[in-house]
Amino acid sequence: MQTDKKVAAVTGSRRGIGFAVAQRLLEQGYFVVVSATAGEIDARQAMDSLRKISENCVYIQCDISDERQRENLIESVSSKCGRLDVLVNNAGVAPAARMDLLETTQESYDRVLDTNLKGTFFMCQLAANAMIRMRAQNITGFMPRIINIGSISSYVSSVNRGEYCISKAGISMVTKLFADRLAEYGIPVFEVSPGIIETDMISSVKEKYIEAVHKGLTPIGRLGQPKDIADSVLALCSGMLDFATGQVINADGGFHIRRL
């Protein structure tokens, strides 16, 4: 399955933001490795939808909190595709239950951090080493890059899901660290920081967010859509922002703007 097409691996891409990113990259001619914790049977609907766009996609099951599964994902892409042009670290989990900071359990903390932060860190490490090796192979059109999906929760306090905020704050530093370390190899690293995006993750508080947005929480008065994040990822894949390695793209409807 060696390919001359640019190859993108997108974690957590069976639905939501990751699925939209996979769609967008397929539309732009990438060979896309779709990945999530679900087995192939559960991922079939998502893959059928993507294959209506292009057959240039495969599914590899991966729970990024698991070391062996992380290694298998990157090794499989490297051996089967022969290149990895883009890694989009999108996989992440929210707390199973929102709990006050004074009641948060170690179990919940470990679950969220193991996936969102540790998983992302070591996915960056695995992909970076693979990309460095590929750099030496003079692959045609090879412009590797890593894009981490963060969150406004990296700097906004939510005391009923503190473990999630901590995990996303950590991703911001992961991005800076790898951008610094990989600059000498010409591998830019970026973060896209979504705001309030209409996905399953906000289903339990969706009405609250809609009301807040309509009351002026964001200058662009609507919930974000997964496509909004996918468009930011695509811009970072273009190569036109590579000199800005380490930057955060705030895809949040202007939420980050301090206003009076």
Q: 2-11, 33-42, 150-159, 246-255: lowest mean pLDDT where?
A: 2-11
pTM of the entire predicted model: 0.96
Let me know how many helices (H) and strands (E) the chain has, helices first.
8, 7
Say if 26 falls within a structural domain.
Answer: yes
pLDDT attached to residue 1: 60
Domain that holds residue 15: 7-251
Catalytic residues, by residue number, are 164
CA distance 242 to 260: 33
Say if 2 falls within a structural domain.
Answer: no
CA distance 90 to 233: 11
203 pLDDT band, cuts 50/70/90, is confident
Say if 202 falls within a structural domain.
Answer: yes
Q: Is the pLDDT of residue 94 over 80?
A: yes
Q: Which residues are CB-contacts of 220 (< 8 A; sequence separation ≥ 6)?
A: 253, 254
Say if 259 falls within a structural domain.
Answer: no
3 pLDDT band, cuts 50/70/90, is confident
Say if 142 falls within a structural domain.
Answer: yes
Say if 258 falls within a structural domain.
Answer: no
**Residue 15: how many CB atoms within 10 A of its CB?**
17
Supply the CATH number for residue 56's domain: 3.40.50.720
Percentage of the chain beyond pLDDT 90 is 93
pLDDT tens, position by position, 28-70 = 999 999 999 999 999 999 999 999 999 999 999 999 999 999 9
Say if 257 falls within a structural domain.
Answer: no
CA distance 21 to 13: 8
Q: How many domains does the chain have?
A: 1
CA distance 255 to 58: 35
For residues 108-113, average pLDDT: 98
State the DSSP H helix or E strand holding residue 146, giving kind and residue range, or none if neither: strand 145-149
74: left (phi over 0), alpha (psi -120 to 50) or beta: alpha
Of the chain, the end-to-end C-alpha distance in Å amounts to 55
Say if 256 falls within a structural domain.
Answer: no
